[in-house]
Structure 1
Amino acid sequence: MPEIGEVARIVHFLRKHCANKKISNILIQEDNIVYGKVGTSASAFQKAFTGKKILDAKQQGKYFWLEMEGKQHPVMHLGMTGWIKFKNDDTSHYYRKPEDENKPQEWPPRFWKFILQLEDDGNEIAFVDPRRLARIRVVEAEAEELRNTTPLRENGPDPVIDKDILTEAWLEEKLKSKKVPVKALMLDQANISGIGNWVADEILYQARIHPEQYSYTFSSAQISALHKAMMDVCGTAVAVLSDSSKFPETWLMRYRWDKGKKDKNILPNGDKIVHLKVGGRTSAIVPRVQKKTGKVAGDVESADEVSEDAAESPEEEATPKKAKATKAKSKKAAATAKDEDMEVVKPKRSRTTKRKAGTNEEDAGAAVKSEEEEAKPVKKRQTKATKAEETNTTKTKTEQNDIKTEDTEGSTRRRSGRLSGKGV
């Protein structure tokens, strides 16, 4: 996702090609997501800015806008894959494949949402977005009041343009007021503008801070290191317009992309880079230097994964997924202990597992009922096991009686007669 440095690159080229120029024509493609999700339409965008003069281009974190003459301004967000392309300039060399470096770029580019044609200029500017997660809106306000309107006012201070606000004291107060992993706090644009996944990882690596550690647990020295790293990383990314070839050789960003590759993800000094999930995002860390010094959201089980079962997060901070896993694990342990105490045979346990989970009283009642019926399955198995034997025994007795009857037929008849006479 384009972060603070990439957006600064876009703003740089917009100023270079658009400042103090008039828009002669706007080509549009209707998109009810890119425009519609924020209450605008492509036709409204076209109507608002055709024939208007562009005065400047500005940025706050991941948002950027064209400052126009009048009270309407386009405010844009690049989402995951949005970008601005120029017909006569290549702004995105790191997006292109090495084999395509010397090929002329396609125009109009694929997935374009609008194209600005400038007066007395052969250059054109296109907004593109393959995944349609970008947002384009028309905001009505005085230019100097734009940052006090939606969506900019809902975002936190920018580490580069708001240094007078984002001070060390401000950061300490923000960290102490939250009970979340520090990386999750940094990724939330309502707290700080412009910091995305790779920037957050770089800041935390430079500050020697573990991303899972809760924000309120840091010492003043750690907060000071975090603030310094934030200013340095964001400032450098913006200054070099996010050209990664100009990043310092010591930056984690240069070596973090080989996740899962054998004998990769190693810094020049030999330190290993591992990956884990924090705040819903894959994080790259260097365990040797990023130690946990306070409460954390989870522990790294192995080099490349996080153990959810081993999470030490407070009960109120646990995610639904972790809670569910813990509950399932507790039920399994309880069932195992119950089976050991009651010596329940397998057939009975398989029958009881079909029963829906209920209250504690229902579970207790079910346990008593299981004890009372414990012998039933065994009795049925015994009946089945001895049925053939009993049949054979009965058959043998019957045959013996028949033989005896044949041998003593006369005696039996006389006995029957005497009994009949006695009865009369």
Structure 2
Amino acid sequence: MPEIAEISRIVHFLRKYAVGRTVKAVKTQEDTIVYGKVGTSASAFEKAMTGKKIVGAKQQGKYFWLEMDSSTHPLMHFGMSGWMKFSNDDTAYYRPAKAEEAEWPPRFWKFILELEGDPKCEVAFVDARRLGRIRLGEAKPEDMRKTTPLKENGPDPVLDPHILTVDWLNKKLKSKRVPVKALLLDQANISGIGNWVGDEIMYQARLHPEQYSNTFTDAQVKQLHDAMMYVCNTAVDLLAESDKFPADWLMKHRWDKGKKNGGKLPNGDRITFLKVGGRTSAVVPSVQKKTGAVAGDVSEEIDGTEEEESVPKKVTKKRGRAKKEEDNSDEEVLPKSTKRGRKSVKEEEAVEDEPEEDEVPVVKKRKPASTATPRKVKKPVAEAIKKEEDSSGRRRSGRLSRG
């Protein structure tokens, strides 16, 4: 999933190729999830963007937005697998693009912006799994971070070091009793930290991700804060290019799980994989020691053949699968009291699979009595009936009295 560093990479490309240019034309594909789940539509996006000038590109954690020369600014989130591609440059950060991926327009595009001027450039938002979100923010550019959903998210480690201080982090950790990594992944606490960034922070701090957040000493909290600032700022400065990351980073080796020579650091230290709060965590036991109470809902070491970003297996419906993944991916923090009429957004989503008011529920009918399977009669009673029929020539109605 794109995290704070990957988003900074996209903002870099937007500033390089899009800022200062006018949107000549917009192509969109309607999507009731990517657009519709956040109260807009492809047609509304197309109307808001066509002919407008892009004057800036900004980021907060996993969110990013374009500042336009009008009062409407597109605010975007990539979800699990979304990305932004440019027709004149390759934005991939971890592997070369395949031949089919280099084709234009790219697969799974949701919108394409054609920009005026040189160099010729088109910008496409792509999302195969449809867990990304595209909003239209109605606010002044300087007030975007004061609007939903940005205001419901915690401080950004890179943008808000004056807020995210050691004292602030200490109070946040002491106020909860959850696995420390789960606290870091919750976007309501801190913006931008995802799975690999969280693992790197915990490894650099030499702390265990299972340990309860309120069990760390002041010195350990300082270690955690220093590691958070170091990892986030370094990853953002290097635009998520892992080849440029420091050689001692866990991130450069955590993806080798299941490979022949995988599961170890260059110095020989073993990497294990644990489930913490439903997410796979890479841990180096030789340096990440438990010094306090740990969560009791943590699974044992994960087999090396399991996928890195696993999804809970208990899923009942196809659309429920996407929602389940979204709920466990730290993607969106919505205000708790957001409502439409008398039902909240979450309540509306929860009943989407229920029949509409004008639908007739399917009722399971009982079989007619005439077609029902005959009831079995116990052998002594059957013999009595037969004996009576033989003597009278006909069968009496009703039950036989006993005694």
TM range (shorter): 0.7 to 0.9
Q: Distance in 2 between matches of 1:40 and 1:160?
A: 30
Query: How far apart are residue 24 of structure 1 and its match?
Result: 1.2
Change in Cα spacing, 1:71 to 1:256, as seen in structure 2 (3 Å) is: same
Moved more, 88-97 or 275-284: 88-97
Listed as ranges, the matches of 1:2-401 within 5 Å are 2-96=2-96, 100=98, 105-121=102-118, 122-298=120-296, 303-304=301-302
Counterpart of 1:384 in structure 2 is none
Q: Distance in 1 between matches of 2:39 and 2:141?
A: 20
Q: Which amino acid aligns with 2:129?
A: R
Q: Distance in 1 between matches of 2:81 and 2:300?
A: 32
Is the partner of 1:225 in helix, strand or coil?
A: helix
Q: Distance in 2 between matches of 1:266 and 1:75?
A: 40
Query: How far apart are residue 262 of structure 1 and its match?
Result: 4.7
Q: Distance in 2 between matches of 1:232 and 1:110?
A: 36
Is the partner of 2:58 in helix, strand or coil?
A: strand
Q: Distance in 2 between matches of 1:14 and 1:46?
A: 18
Q: CA offsets, 1:86-130, max 9 Å, x none?
A: 001111152545xx37x8810011100000011234211000011
Q: Distance in 2 between matches of 1:183 and 1:11?
A: 27
Q: Distance in 1 between matches of 2:216 and 2:26?
A: 51
Q: Distance in 2 between matches of 1:183 and 1:104?
A: 34
Change in Cα spacing, 1:69 to 1:30, as seen in structure 2 (3 Å) is: same
Q: Which amino acid aligns with 1:5?
A: A
Q: Which amino acid aligns with 1:242?
A: A
Q: Distance in 2 between matches of 1:69 and 1:301?
A: 51
Query: How far apart are residue 52 of structure 1 and its match?
Result: 0.7
Is the partner of 1:21 in helix, strand or coil?
A: coil
Q: Distance in 1 between matches of 2:278 and 2:213?
A: 16
Q: Distance in 2 between matches of 1:130 and 1:10?
A: 18
Is the partner of 1:81 in helix, strand or coil?
A: coil
Is the partner of 2:226 in helix, strand or coil?
A: helix
Query: How far apart are residue 300 of structure 1 and its match?
Result: 7.5
Any unmatched runs of 5+ in structure 2?
304-313, 315-403
Query: How far apart are residue 217 of structure 1 and its match?
Result: 0.5
**Larger relative contact order, structure 1 or 2 (CA cutoff 8 Å, min sep 6):** 2
Q: Distance in 1 between matches of 2:72 and 2:90?
A: 28
Q: Distance in 2 between matches of 1:255 and 1:299?
A: 26
Any unmatched runs of 5+ in structure 1?
306-320, 322-424
Query: How far apart are residue 268 of structure 1 and its match?
Result: 1.1
Q: CA offsets, 1:374-397, max 9 Å, x none?
A: xxxxxxxxxxxxxxxxxxxxxxxx
Q: Which amino acid aligns with 1:234?
A: C
Q: CA offsets, 1:40-82, max 9 Å, x none?
A: 1000001111111100100000000001112110000001111
Q: CA offsets, 1:168-204, max 9 Å, x none?
A: 1110010001110000000000000000000000000
Query: How far apart are residue 299 of structure 1 and its match?
Result: 8.5
Is the partner of 2:22 in helix, strand or coil?
A: strand
Q: CA offsets, 1:115-173, max 9 Å, x none?
A: 00112342110000111110001010011010000010010000001111111111001
Is the partner of 1:257 in helix, strand or coil?
A: helix
Q: CA offsets, 1:306-344, max 9 Å, x none?
A: xxxxxxxxxxxxxxx9xxxxxxxxxxxxxxxxxxxxxxx
Q: Distance in 2 between matches of 1:301 and 1:276?
A: 6
Counterpart of 1:385 in structure 2 is none
Query: How far apart are residue 20 of structure 1 and its match?
Result: 1.1
Q: Distance in 1 between matches of 2:101 and 2:164?
A: 42
Change in Cα spacing, 1:296 to 1:208, as seen in structure 2 (3 Å) is: same
Q: Distance in 1 between matches of 2:101 and 2:130?
A: 25
Q: Which amino acid aligns with 1:62?
A: K
Change in Cα spacing, 1:24 to 1:301, as seen in structure 2 (3 Å) is: closer
Change in Cα spacing, 1:22 to 1:174, as seen in structure 2 (3 Å) is: same
Rg (Cα) greater in structure:
1
Q: Distance in 1 between matches of 2:258 and 2:88?
A: 39
